[in-house]
Amino acid sequence: MINLSLEMEQRIAKLEKEMEALRQEMDVLKQQQPQQKTTVKNVNRSITVQPALPTPKPTPKPTPTPKQIPKTNVQPQRSFEEQIMWALPKVFMVILVLGVLWGLKLVSDYGYLSNEVKIILAYLLSIALGAIAYVLEHKKKASPAVTISLYGGAFIVGILTTAAGAILYEVLGLTLALFIAFVFIVYGIAISYLKKNEVLTLFVAFTSLLLPYLLEYMDFSAFIILFFVIILFTMLQFVILQHKQKIALYVTTFFSIMAVSIVAFMNSDNRVIFAIGLLITLAIFYTSWCRLYNVESKWKHIHAGLQFSLGLFSLLLLNLVSSRLEYNEIILLGLCILFVTVAGYSYKQKWQEAFDSAVTLAFITLCNTVLIMNLPEKVDDLLLPFMTFAGVMMSLRLRASLMKIVSSFGFAMALILSYIVHEPTPFFSIEHISLILPGVYLLIIYLYTIREKETLNTFEKIMKDLYVTDILAVMTAGYFLAYIAKLDSVYVTSVSNFPHMMTIGIVILFVGSLLLPEKYKGRALTPVVGVFFLFVTLMFNVIPYNIQGIEWLNIGTRLIYIAAFVAIILDLLMKGRIYQIYQQLMPKYLDLIVSASVAFTMIALCGLLSQLAYNDLMDWKLSVALTTVTLFLSASLSLWLGTVRHLRILRLSGFAILAIAFIKLIFFDLSALDLLIRAVLFIAIGGIGMLLSGRLLRK
């Protein structure tokens, strides 16, 4: 019973604890319920208080207003197939004319028709072609391409028939033939003006310009022939300018200057008149060209190039025509004035391409004028390089791209000729000055080229990407070295077999390029001259037995090279001017450059000792000993500097030089030196080694 009562009491106590825990939980829940109710009420209240936002009404889409398309006079461009279709009637017309001519020739060969009948039939064919074209055009039964071809065929047949009747068959009188030819030419120009077709204009121009040869056959005076060509060329300009026929302008100009030139060659006594006629023809051409030139056209570069080509071709013909004249330079000077006038007008209109080509033509003509003048020979030697130099400077100043190319080519040719022809002997002479001045011109051009520009045009950007300015710096230095080589060949090499002055010039040029900032020397000068400097150093010091002649010059040249290497090493280690100029590269390449400089200094010193022994200025055994001492000193210096400056490559090169010095000392010097020199040498090397070891161990 006692056990049962104890169990009941434990259960009751446990139930009481659970009831107490439930009461506490109920109290916590009762406290949380009113807080949740208040928050819900607040939320509902806030929702009800906020005013309802008005729903946005959809905005009506604006009705698109029809765009007003501006009316333009731009004609739709024909496709490639349409252009072929338009060209076919003209081609077939030419074939028809040729067929008719060959048919008449065949009939004439068989003797069926007399010459008079053939000429009459040819004229009837010409009139018939024109009449058919007129009828088809008015009744609108053919396309414009066909009618234009018929009109052109009528003109061609008429002109050729007139020429054949007067020259080949001698059926027509010369005066009558000339009158008929004039009638057909007026007809052709009128048709070209009315039909506005450029191909028809080309036909008329080409065929009409055959008439000067008829006039020449008729033995007319040169003035009348020239007057006819100029009048015909001028009348064609009205058609060309009215309808803006640029291709016809170039073609008619070409055949006009060809007609004047060919007839001029047939009349050797009247060259002056035809030379003036060429100038007048070119003046008319450039007047029309300036009126037709469009600076906004995408073909403006081609048009500038075509007028440049025609101008250059005209200059060639004018040279041939006026070659036998007594004062032919006056004719060329007139052409130069014409080009200068065109250049001035282009500059005023801000036509850069036209200005460029005109200035280039003026420069070429001026150089040509100077060349044909009867000047003394020495003046020619000075004047030709100066003229080409002036052309380069003018092109740089005007920033004329085409002129830069032409004038630079001319200057390069003058430079090469001046160097080949002239010699620096006698020293005080015009010939020597003629050899020096091109190098001075080259230096002035380079200094003007490296000046800072605010903006670069397309040509200048291309030249910069091609390193042209850097190449120009190398060329300038190369010319001066070549000039010094000529001085060597005349004044030094005849006594000595080695170009000492040029080698001294190389070291001075290399050290000088190291001291100049990159904006003054370019990017290629120092590497190129540096390669030559190292090559000459090796050749100059490794092969001392080839250097003969003046002893003090040999020794002085070697001392200059040694001084250059020592100066470079000191500048780099003390962070001097060279280090400051190349401070971006020095942290990466300082170890390698100093190591190479120490090695080359050691080689130069050994070469100097060999040279002294070679010239009997030092005992041979003493030079062997000093060479070994030089090796040990170089090794010691490399090890010490490499340790102090933390230059790993220099330190390793010091160990390599030290190994070479030991090999030389043991395997070569012991057998070659006597006891006294051997003792002194070992004492010196031992002292150097002890001092170096102490320094290195202290570090």
Query: What are the φ/ψ torsions at residue 580 (nearest 5 degrees)?
Result: -70, -35
Q: How far is residue 182's CA from residue 571's CA, in Å, rounded to a whole number?
A: 87
Q: 124: alpha, beta or left, given left = phi > 0 and alpha = psi -120 to 50?
A: alpha
Q: How far is CA 96 from the centre of its chain?
A: 49
Written in H, E and C, the secondary structure of 47-59 is HHHCCCCCCCCCC
Q: How far is residue 579's CA from residue 689's CA, in Å, rounded to a whole number?
A: 31
* Minimum mean pLDDT range among 386-400, 401-415, 500-514, 674-688: 674-688
Show the tokens assigned to 450.
């490296």
**Cis preceding linkage at 426, omega within 30:** yes
Helices 468-487 and 500-515 pack at an angle, to 10 degrees, of 150
The helix/strand count (H/E) of the chain reads as 28, 0
Tell me: the pLDDT tens digits for 359-391? 888 888 888 887 777 666 666 677 778 878 887
Q: Are 367 and 410 in contact (CB under 8 A)?
A: yes
Enumerate long-range contacts of 388-393, CB under 8 Å, 24 or more apart.
388/413, 388/414, 389/414, 389/438, 389/441, 389/444, 389/445, 391/363, 391/367, 392/445, 393/444, 393/445, 393/448
Q: Are 90 and 83 in contact (CB under 8 A)?
A: no
With a cut of 50, say whether residue 2 has pLDDT above it.
no
Show the tokens assigned to 381.
């030697």
Q: Are 228 and 274 in contact (CB under 8 A)?
A: no
Q: Which amino acid is at 127?
A: I
DSSP per-residue codes, 20-89: HHHHHHHHHHHHHHHHHHHHHHHHHHHHHHSPPPPPPPPPPPPPPPPP-PPP--PPPPPPHHHHHHHHHH
Neighbouring residues of 105: CB distance < 8 A, sequence distance ≥ 6: none
Q: How far is residue 458's CA from residue 448's CA, in Å, rounded to a whole number?
A: 19
Show the tokens assigned to 665.
């000392």
Question: Between 474 and 619, where is the model more confident?
Answer: 474
Tell me: the pLDDT tens digits for 257-289? 988 888 888 877 778 888 899 999 999 999 999
E-strand ranges in 298-373 read none
Q: How much is the pLDDT for 232? A: 86
Maximum alpha-carbon separation in the chain: 174
Q: Are 497 and 546 in contact (CB under 8 A)?
A: yes
Enumerate long-range contacts of 46-55, CB under 8 Å, 24 or more apart.
none
Q: 616: alpha, beta or left, given left = phi > 0 and alpha = psi -120 to 50?
A: left
Q: How far is residue 526's CA from residue 522's CA, in Å, rounded to a whole number?
A: 8
Q: How many Cβ atoms sit within 10 Å of the Cβ of residue 136?
A: 16
Q: How far is residue 367's CA from residue 319's CA, in Å, rounded to a whole number?
A: 13
Q: Are 395 and 359 in contact (CB under 8 A)?
A: yes
Q: How much is the pLDDT for 216? A: 66
Tell me: the pLDDT tens digits for 610-644? 888 877 788 777 777 788 888 888 888 888 888 88
Show the tokens assigned to 44.
């509902």
Neighbouring residues of 326: CB distance < 8 A, sequence distance ≥ 6: none
Percentage of residues of the chain with pLDDT beyond 90: 4
Q: How far is residue 319's CA from residue 636's CA, in Å, rounded to a whole number?
A: 75
With a cut of 90, say whether residue 200 has pLDDT above it.
no
Dihedral sign from CA coordinates of 357, 359, 362, 367? negative
Tell me: the pLDDT tens digits for 22-35? 777 777 666 665 55
User: What's the pTM value of the predicted model, to 2 decimals?
Assistant: 0.58
Q: How much is the pLDDT for 48? A: 43
Q: Are 315 and 365 in contact (CB under 8 A)?
A: yes
Q: How far is CA 588 from the centre of its chain?
A: 35
Tell me: the pLDDT tens digits for 506-516? 888 888 888 88
With a cut of 60, say whether residue 44 has pLDDT above it.
no
Q: Which residues of 560-574 are buried (b: 16+ CB within 10 A; e: fewer)?
A: bbbebbeebbebbbe
Q: How far is residue 612's CA from residue 315's CA, in Å, rounded to a whole number?
A: 65
Q: How far is residue 502's CA from residue 535's CA, in Å, rounded to a whole number?
A: 13
- SS3 of 490, please? helix
- Confidence band (pLDDT; 50, 70, 90) for 87? low
Percentage of residues of the chain with pLDDT beyond 70: 76
Tell me: the pLDDT tens digits for 564-574? 889 988 888 88
Show the tokens assigned to 99.
């067929």
E-strand ranges in 409-458 read none
Among 152, 111, 100, 154, residue whose Cα is nearest residue 131: 154
Q: Is 41 exposed, middle or buried (0-12, 13-18, 19+ CB in 10 A)?
A: exposed
Q: Are 145 and 195 in contact (CB under 8 A)?
A: no
